[in-house]
Structure 1
């Protein structure tokens, strides 16, 4: 089977690799499926419409254009192979609920339908109490003469729908488009409704899951639908892939990288970025209309097509920047909260080192034309390393360390949606109980048994504050929030506290830190002052403590028996 096909009824005016089948006709292709095509007119596993965009607009010389066209196919294969966006289908029945307070609206809507198209329920908006579930399985609770009645439907048409209704998959508002468009969509859904998995989740590094206090929850806050819900009682997140729009906004605000974007995860982005060495990346989200965009792509500009527009964060953007050695153009008419923060942070960093912005944002054609003229390579910025298996913060730390090197470039502020910070410890009150280490699931805080130290790597810290609320000591642990210090120590395991181990006074085994024993002794010694054995037990390990207590009890009993004689 030929993997790559290029179809254009007008053909191509330059040759391409023999790996690509070029055709000017769809005849004979009905029963063939290709891996990558340039158009949805050909049956394929993956459509890369950026290929035509590049061919039509690129100013590259002919040899580069030939090789770059093949690379666009290879990039698409890489994304396809590494993608984790599994496809699913949902059965849709004919049960349809129409919500409107206007009989005229209802009549206007139904006149476009045949009587057998749907089984229609019609209600007034004022009796609707709640909607649960998702497209194909919606439970609508209505007030029927003071009693709750549940209607089970597959889809809802709601004129002037409230925001909570539009967050559910399967709810459509004709006033946001047209009756004809909504009817076409709900009819198409009857034949087949498919959706994809857009997010992957690692709860072991989640800053919300299982914690005693609500520390995070950014993903749920930015989700425009009910695809992510959180339970503050159990501290668990629930993901509904069928409700997910695939925008990726939750990915860019996830502090630890617990969430990743299934169509282009961090491994995929790294592998794809390898194709952009010595090229100017032009990031183009799927929603942007490039089919009809005519613009001069100056020599070296190479499209980087992505599905969602909101998933890119500081680590992914810095990866692409360093792998290309160039400024990046981001062509999007909208910036998510997380991506906007990430761009500002990276621009601040690169201004300090290179006196250039890292990312040039273009929100329309006019701004794109300006960015295409301005974009340039960043001298000495290329950097590649094997980041396989590393977490989001670890990748960013390693890449940022390359920029900082041995210099002190000052400080940059992080933002409302992307947080970095610096833990500070009062050594006078720290007993090295290591509760903070147990609270940190991104390994920013660690214990080093070789020298009995508590260590902290600022570059990994999400500034979540869970160590702060978990610390049992008073005036001990604080966090300096929303900063990145661009100097070498920011990337090292810095010693925050250190102590000697205390040896059991009975057996000599080291079992606790000296400060911890001193603290307990200071509290309990006055209480045990009348009993030397109990007081001594404060300085014993867990094995010796019961032994000396039992021995004392036995000695006292024997002394009593002897005195009784």
Structure 2
């Protein structure tokens, strides 16, 4: 199917003359370019003509996306419609005249088919909201929101100026508040610390009138510092029973769809709190903004399931021994927990940052929004189109779809006025749900596809552990590239919160060396498979051929060493290895190792009863990494009864040495030297002989 590209010079503010338009069209495969100058105004008719057929239409403008979409809907067109920004990202700026290859790459990527839909996670919110915090903040908001939501309040403190009047909303008081759950399914627990239970209190004021210390006000909570325990209030409350100084059952709980936390410090302190939880604190502007968002969260909602988990290759733990814990440590939403011998990811709590997939050494966790294969196709298409259009030294700028995109657009608009230089012509932006979702397999593949640099934009809203994880993964990637002789800094974490900061950092970068030939492989769904393709390509075209690379601590590549004098070939390590890196030999006592499978999770090291295993991070790029290497072997020990091999000499000697003085074995030490079948036979024969002797007696 032909793609119709509508490209506008935005009233001739971008260098898209007829010659440039022709060059741009020549770089786009299976597409027809329609240049314009005032597409959203005087030339809107030309846009309507393009919508006549069934061909896909790609509009090189996001400024007027709403207008173009509305016009298409009014026309009831069936042509698929897509939009891409080539103005702020390249057409405006000091290097706009050199940005034609980038524009072609962005248009080509926009024309790619939509990825297959991913599974979704569902939420159901009925609009029940719990307001938590001091009375002076909670009560005014309770009145404002009660007409739109089902409001309950949990007061953590009173205030002389706050008065509880009508019992129009369920009202509680308490401390030691715990909140668990997510949108539509929050569970809240607290301790009823004050003698007055606000749910039972009728606000009759009898307690206020009789209290000799004036320890009760219109918050209907007793100031225990002022109270001297006359208990006059208890008598005045009478049969209502709202006041109880001896209350034993103080634990309270409730279930709510939404939480509006107005406490000075948020109760949930996660960097990524669950959806449906809002904690604006004392800031009036944030309170108003969050309250508006609350009112929109009534009904049924869905979001993508951002991850795919393959339990079989997870290196988290085996037999309750924990190995890799990277995903749990990096998650800022507490969505990943230990679940026996594996992890459990709560899709309702997952916010889609993807950092867990980036740090996962085995690929047991992979990102699904987009899938690695879809993102790989996009990157490969952009770099191939860029090269076809004559571009050199391309760089990819990975940024978030919210703060990152806003920062790039602000930079482009300032560049249009000459205030800043704007996006360099060689830098192509790629929007992601979150920048932490892309890791070493994609970065190195981009370099293999011809990218000189891969830039990751941090705008300051990322969790600290995300940035630490990215920096560590960047160190792994850069170590490999530098060791193979590729000159320059290829992977860069940019930290910018203003257009000026971003502008300065982008123009300070220099192109790094890429392989002399662009790779043809496609990024695979399996992380280790993609890395294998990337390593092979990088080694083939490396300026410095090097088959063994020393890696920093924590790298997911390496070897293990076995102390053969201590190893008994018990094969506990083989059973613990989740990646089939350690193997036994069914024909003889032998421990073998396939280095390319090893993720350095440490389970073998922690499981070994003899402490005979140590790990060493390195990257072996030769064919030997994929072949089983013998780490330890021994001649088999033969059963003294039937002659069948069943263990090793060292193992049997150790066992005999340790158990020979044990009372249970002292008289039957030879059984330790028999195979399992012969032990049973020997026991039965001994039992029979004993029975015959007893009968003779």
Secondary structure of the residue aligned to 1:293 is helix
Q: 1:515 aligns with which of 642, 645, 650?
A: 650
Deviates more, 1:12-21 or 1:202-211: 12-21
Per-residue deviation at 1:284?
A: 2.2
C-alpha change, 1:2 and 1:398, in structure 2 (3 Å) is closer
**C-alpha offsets along residues 151-200 of structure 1, whole Å, 9 cap, x if unaligned?**
33221222234252662321212346523311221122225533221122
Matched, 1:206 2:206: no
Matched, 1:257 2:375: no
1:167-246 to 2 correspondences below 5 Å? 167-175=273-281, 178-190=286-298, 193-208=301-316, 211-230=319-338, 234-235=340-341, 237-246=343-352
Matched, 1:56 2:84: no
TM-score by length of 1: 0.80
Q: Distance in 2 between matches of 1:33 and 1:247?
A: 35
Per-residue deviation at 1:520?
A: 3.5
Aligned Cα root-mean-square deviation (Å): 4.2
Q: What's the counterpart of residue 131 of structure 2?
A: 98
C-alpha change, 1:116 and 1:420, in structure 2 (3 Å) is same
Q: 2:150 aligns with which of 119, 122, 129?
A: 119
Per-residue deviation at 1:388?
A: 4.0
Q: 1:138 aligns with which of 186, 203, 212?
A: 186
Q: What's the counterpart of residue 630 of structure 2?
A: 495
**C-alpha offsets along residues 412-469 of structure 1, whole Å, 9 cap, x if unaligned?**
3135xx5555322111222222110110102222234467532234454333322122
Per-residue deviation at 1:341?
A: 0.5
Secondary structure of the residue aligned to 1:328 is strand
Q: 1:326 aligns with which of 442, 447, 452?
A: 452
Checking the alignment, whether the CA contact within 8 Å between 2:186 and 2:257 is kept in structure 1 is: yes
Q: What's the counterpart of residue 484 of structure 1?
A: 618
Checking the alignment, whether the CA contact within 8 Å between 1:281 and 1:327 is kept in structure 2 is: yes
TM-score by length of 2: 0.66
Q: 1:247 aligns with which of 346, 353, 371?
A: 353
Q: What's the counterpart of residue 481 of structure 2?
A: 350
Any gaps of 5 or more consecutive residues in structure 1?
none
Checking the alignment, whether the CA contact within 8 Å between 2:132 and 2:156 is kept in structure 1 is: yes
Q: What's the counterpart of residue 68 of structure 1?
A: 105
Checking the alignment, whether the CA contact within 8 Å between 2:488 and 2:512 is kept in structure 1 is: no
Secondary structure of the residue aligned to 2:444 is helix
C-alpha change, 1:21 and 1:462, in structure 2 (3 Å) is same
Q: 1:152 aligns with which of 241, 255, 259?
A: 255
Q: What's the counterpart of residue 304 of structure 1?
A: 430
C-alpha change, 1:426 and 1:518, in structure 2 (3 Å) is same
Per-residue deviation at 1:110?
A: 5.6
Q: Distance in 2 between matches of 1:161 and 1:20?
A: 57
Q: Distance in 2 between matches of 1:180 and 1:33?
A: 45
Checking the alignment, whether the CA contact within 8 Å between 1:36 and 1:47 is kept in structure 2 is: yes
C-alpha change, 1:48 and 1:100, in structure 2 (3 Å) is farther
Q: What's the counterpart of residue 293 of structure 1?
A: 411
Checking the alignment, whether the CA contact within 8 Å between 1:50 and 1:305 is kept in structure 2 is: no
Deviates more, 1:125-134 or 1:396-405: 396-405
C-alpha change, 1:494 and 1:101, in structure 2 (3 Å) is same
Q: Distance in 1 between matches of 2:334 and 2:605?
A: 31
Q: Distance in 1 between matches of 2:8 and 2:151?
A: 44
User: Which one has the largest radius of gyration?
Assistant: 2
**C-alpha offsets along residues 363-382 of structure 1, whole Å, 9 cap, x if unaligned?**
23445554455124424474
Q: Distance in 1 between matches of 2:649 and 2:335?
A: 50
Q: Distance in 2 between matches of 1:123 and 1:53?
A: 48
Q: RCO higher in 1 or 2 (8 Å CA, sep ≥ 6)?
A: 2
Checking the alignment, whether the CA contact within 8 Å between 1:253 and 1:337 is kept in structure 2 is: no
Q: 2:268 aligns with which of 164, 184, 190?
A: 164
Q: Distance in 2 between matches of 1:252 and 1:438?
A: 26
